[in-house]
Amino acid sequence: MPENPLTRRQLMKLGTAGAGALLLPTQWTAVARAASVPPPEVRAANDLALWYDEAAGTDWLRALPIGNGRLGAMVFGNVDTERLQLNEDTVWAGGPYDQSNPKGAQSLPEIRRLVFENQWIQAQDLINQTMLGKPAGQLAYQPVGDLRLAFGDATEASEYNRQLDLTTATTTVTYVLNGVRHRREVFASAPDQVIAVRLTADRPGSITFSATFDSPQRTTRSSPDAATVALDGVSGDFEGVTGSVRFLALARAVAEGGTVTSSDGTLQVSAADSVTLLVSIGSSYVNYDDVGGDHQSIARKHLDAAAERPYDRLRRRHVADYRKLFGRTTLDLGRTAAADQPTDVRIAQHANTDDPQFSALLFQFGRYLLISSSRPGTQPANLQGVWNDQMSPPWDSKYTINANLPMNYWPADTTNLSECYEPVFGMIQDLTVTGARTAQAQYGAGGWVTHHNTDAWRATSVVDGAFWGMWQTGGAWLATLIWDHYLFTGDLRFLRANYPAMKGAARFFLDTLVPEPQLGWLVTNPSNSPELSHHANASVAAGPTMDMQILRDLFDGCSEASKVLGVDADFRSEVEAARERLAPMRIGSRGNIQEWLYDWVETEQNHRHVSHLYGLHPSHQITKRDTPELFQAARRTLELRGDDGTGWSLAWKINYWARLEEGTRAHDLVRALVTPARLAPNMFDLHPPFQIDGNFGATSGIAEMLLHSHNGELHLLPALPEAWPEGKVRGLRGRGGHTVGATWSEGQADEFLITPDRDGTVRVRGQLFTGRYKVVDTTRGGRARTRKLGPDLIELTGKAGHTYRAYGLRKAAH
C-alpha cells in the first residue's frame, strides 16, 4: 500500500469537509481509502481487542492497561522509547494510623438536636469541629514509577499497530523499521507474579535497547547483577502521615543472542535475536496495621522463579489462568463495518454509527479490568483499579464507598467473576476492627461504622468536611454485599465467616438510630444523601432515603442469614423489630421518590448522584410487579434528574433503566457514555478525569439489560434494546445459583439456557413464554418439569448441574 500522506485523525476531519472542500488529489485518495476496510495487517487480532494505528506518545489515557490484581502497568507502545508505568496495589502514601476523633461522642446529642431543628449549617459547623477525622483527609494510592526502554531513532517506522487482546490479556506492538519487523508483547502474570515483556524481530541481531527505572517517589537505582536493574523506594508522606511502605522493583533481561550488561542502574541489551524482560515488584505492606514485610525477598523470589521458565511457558500459564475467568461469559451482539476501525475512531464516531459490537467490547473490557485489578489476596480495585501515575491523584484514587467501591463489584457475580470479589470481603473484615474504634469514639456505640471513604489503612472516620463526609452508611452498604454474594454462590462457609461483619454493622445502627420527633420513625442522624444539598450549602439531614433503603437491606440480610445459619434468634428479633420502624420510601409532590424524609427539592436538579434510587438498583425494594407505584415514581425521578452526568453517573443510570425494563433508554445511555467526553481513547471511563467505576458500572448495566435475578426469579432479556436485534449471551449468573444463556433474533427470544448449581425450583420469566415453546433437559434428555405461572412466567424444577433449554416454536409455526 502506498504511504498515506495524512494521519487517520486528519482523514476523519477531511471526511467531513464536504464535497466543496479544496483537497489535493492525493488527499481525496486518502479519504477514499479511510472509508474502506483497513488491510488485515493493521486490524485487530479479533473483535475482542482494542487496537490503534498510532502510539500513545505521552498521553496516559492512550496507554493500554495490564494487570494481575496486584501489579499493574500502562503500556505506551512508542517505537523509540517504550514506557511501562508501574503500580503495585499496596504502595500507598503514609502508613498505619487511627483517624477516629474522640470529641465526637460527646457532641453527638447537640448535633442531632440542631439537625432536627433544621439548623443544618450550625450542625455542619459542629461536625467539622468534633466529628471530622484526624487527619481530615485520607491517604492516596501512589505509583511505583516507570520502566523506560530506549531504542533510538525510529522516525522511519511504518506499518505500526498496537493492540490489547482481551481474550489473552496481552498487549502487542508491531512495526517495520529499516526493513525489520519488530514485535513487543507485554502481559502481567497472576501465576508467576511478574510483568513479562517479549521483544522479537524477523532478522537476527536486530534488538538493541537500554532500560532504566525512574520514579516520583524517594528512590535509589542500582544494578544488583549483570542482567538486572533495581529501583528501591518508599511511599510518600500525605496528610501529615509519614510514608512507610518500602518497595523494590526489579527488571531482568534474558536474551537469545547478543549481549546483556547492567551498570549503575542501566540495563543494556545489544544485538539480540529476542529478549524476555521480566519485571517484579515487592512491597513491605502486610496489612492495614503492619508495614514490616520483606519487600526485597518478595521481589526477588518472583523474579528468580519466573526467570527459570521459558517465555512460552510463562505465557501459557498466564493465558490459561486468565481464560479460566474471562472465558466463562461470552456476548455476541453482531457486528458492522464500524468494528473494523481503530478503537479511538470507533469511540469518536459511536454516537452516529451502528456499532453493536462496541457494546460487547465495552462489556468485556469491564470484565477484563476487574480480573486485572482484583484477585484473591490482593487489595480491592480502587477508584482507578490498580492504575495510577500520580503522587496525588484525583480524589486520592482511594475507595469512595457512597458509589465507587460497590459499583466496581456490581459485575463480579452477574458476569461470573465471583473470585474477583474476595478482596472486598477481606477489606470488610479489616473495617470491622478500625470501624469499631470509630463507632465507640465518635458515637459511643457498639459494632462498627465506615463513612464515605476508606484507604489502604482502613480509615473509617468522617473526611472531606461535613457536607460530603457526614454519611453513616458506607459500612452498612458494604455489609449488604455479603448477603447478596451468598445468594449467588450458596456458599455456607463464606456466609458463616462473614456473618459477624453483617451483625456488627447492624449492631452499630441498633445502637445509634433515633426516632424522628414528629413522625416517630427510626432514622440516622446526622447523615446526608451523598454529596447533594437539600437547602443552600446544607447537606446534613436525618434519615435520608438512601440510608433507610440500605438499612432495610442490611437488617433483612442479617435476619435471613441468622435463619440459614441457625444462630442469634434474639438478635434476629431485634433487627426485625427495628426494620419495621425504619422510615419508609415516600412519593413526593412531583411524583418522584423523595430523597429525604421531607418533600424537599434538590438544589441541583441534574446532580450526578441519584442515591435515593438505591432501592431500584442495586437493591430490589422497588420492582415493576411488587411495588408498581414506587416503580413509576422511580421512573419519574430519573426523568426529573435527567440523562446527563459524569461517566460513572451515566453508567449507574444504565442499570436503573435496565431495571425499569426500558432497553432502548438504557442503550441510549450506553451511547451517551461512549463519547470522547466520557470514554478515553483507551476506553477508561472519564468522570472526567478517569474513574474506573464507570467501566464496571457499564458492564453491570449491559448484564442487567440481559438478565434480572433480583426479585426471586430469573428474567431473561428484560431490557433488550432495538439496537441489538440479534445476539447471543452465555455464562451470566443469577441469584439462586444459576448460570444462564440466551439467543435472540429479529428482536425476539429464540432460546434460553439455564444451569442450576443446586436442586430445586426457580421461576423463569421471559417473552419467549408468551408464545409456543418447549423446555427440555439437555443433560438427562426429555422434557423438563415445568409449570405455567403467568403469561410470560414458568416454574422450572431443576437438578444441580443439568442444563435446561427453553426454545420457541414460532419459526416452526411459520
Instruction: Using CA atoms of 753, 755, 759, 760 in order, give the dihedral in degrees to the nearest 10.
Output: -30
Residue 549 contacts residue 524 (beta carbons within 8 Å): no
* Average pLDDT, integer, range 623-636: 98
Distances (CA, A) of 346 to 194, 332, 362, 680, 704: 32, 18, 12, 11, 24
Residue 41: band (very low, low, confident or very high) from pLDDT cuts 50, 70, 90: low
The predicted-structure confidence for 420-450, as pLDDT tens digits, reads as follows: 999 999 999 999 999 999 999 999 999 999 9
Domain boundaries, the chain: 1-36, 51-92+140-327, 105-138+417-606, 727-813
Residue 268 phi/psi, 5° resolution?
A: -120, 125
| DSSP code for 79 | S
pLDDT in tens, 462-520: 999 999 999 999 999 999 999 999 999 999 999 999 999 999 999 999 999 999 999 99
Predicted pLDDT of residue 394: 97
Cα–Cα distance for residue pair 149/85, rounded to 1 Å: 11
Q: For the purposes of burial, counting CB atoms within 10 Å of the CB of 649, is it exposed (0-12), middle (13-18) or buried (19 or more)?
A: buried
Question: Is 80 exceeded by the pLDDT of residue 21?
Answer: no
Q: What is the tens place of the pLDDT at every residue in 689-737?
A: 999 999 999 999 999 999 999 999 999 999 999 999 999 999 999 999 9
State the Cα–Cα distance between residues 286 and 218, nearest whole angstrom: 20
Mean pLDDT for the stretch of residues 561-588? 98
Region at 271 (left for phi over 0; alpha for psi -120 to 50; beta for the rest) = left
Closest CA to 647 of 605, 601, 684, 593: 684
What is the percent of the chain where pLDDT is above 70? 94
The whole-number pLDDT of residue 813 equals 34
Mean pLDDT of the 147-175 span: 96
Q: Is the pLDDT of residue 806 over 90?
A: yes
User: 647 CB contacts (<8 Å, ≥6 apart)?
Assistant: 673, 678, 679, 685, 686, 687, 688, 691, 694
pLDDT tens-digit map of 314-368: 999 999 999 999 999 999 999 999 999 999 999 999 999 999 999 999 999 999 9
Query: Mind listing the pLDDT tens digit for each residue in 213-234?
Result: 999 999 999 999 999 999 999 9
| Domain 727-813, CATH among 1.20.1050.10, 3.30.360.10, 3.10.290.10, 2.60.40.1180 | 2.60.40.1180
Alpha-carbon distance values, 321 to 275, 326, 764 (Å): 23, 9, 33
Q: How far apart are CA 314 and CA 308, in angstroms?
A: 10
Report the distance separating Cα 774 and Cα 809, nearest Å.
Answer: 7
Coil, helix or strand at residue 771: coil
- Grade residue 23 by pLDDT with cuts at 50, 70 and 90: very low
Q: Identify the band that residue 45 occupies on the pLDDT scale cut at 50, 70 and 90.
A: confident
Which residue, among 447, 362, 455, has the nearest Cα to 405 in the 3D structure?
455
All three cell numbers of 341: 476501525
CB 91 within 8 A of CB 431: no
Confidence (pLDDT) at 24: 30
The pLDDT, as a whole number, for residue 22 is 29
**Which DSSP symbol is given to 258?**
S
Residue pair 666/701 in contact by the 8 Å Cβ criterion: yes
The neighbour count for residue 652, using CB atoms within 10 Å, is: 28
Q: Nine-digit cell at 110?
A: 447537640
**In CATH terms, are 105-138+417-606 and 727-813 the same topology?**
no
Q: List alpha helices for 151-232, DSSP H.
A: none
Task: Provide the mean pLDDT of the chain.
Answer: 94
Q: Per DSSP, which regions of 669-712 are E strands? A: 707-708
**CA dist., res. 423 & res. 481, Å (int):** 12
Q: What is the pLDDT of residues 94-132, one digit of tens each?
A: 999 999 999 999 999 999 999 999 999 999 999 999 999
- For the domain made up of 51-92+140-327, give the CATH fold: Beta-galactosidase; Chain A, domain 5 (2.70.98)
What is the mean pLDDT of the segment spanning 148-157? 92
- How many other CB atoms are found less than 10 A from the CB of residue 574? 17
> Residue 810's pLDDT band (boundaries 50, 70, 90)?
low
Please say if the pLDDT value at position 29 is more than 70: no
Per-residue pLDDT at 32 exceeds 50: no
pTM: 0.95
CATH of domain 105-138+417-606: 1.50.10.10
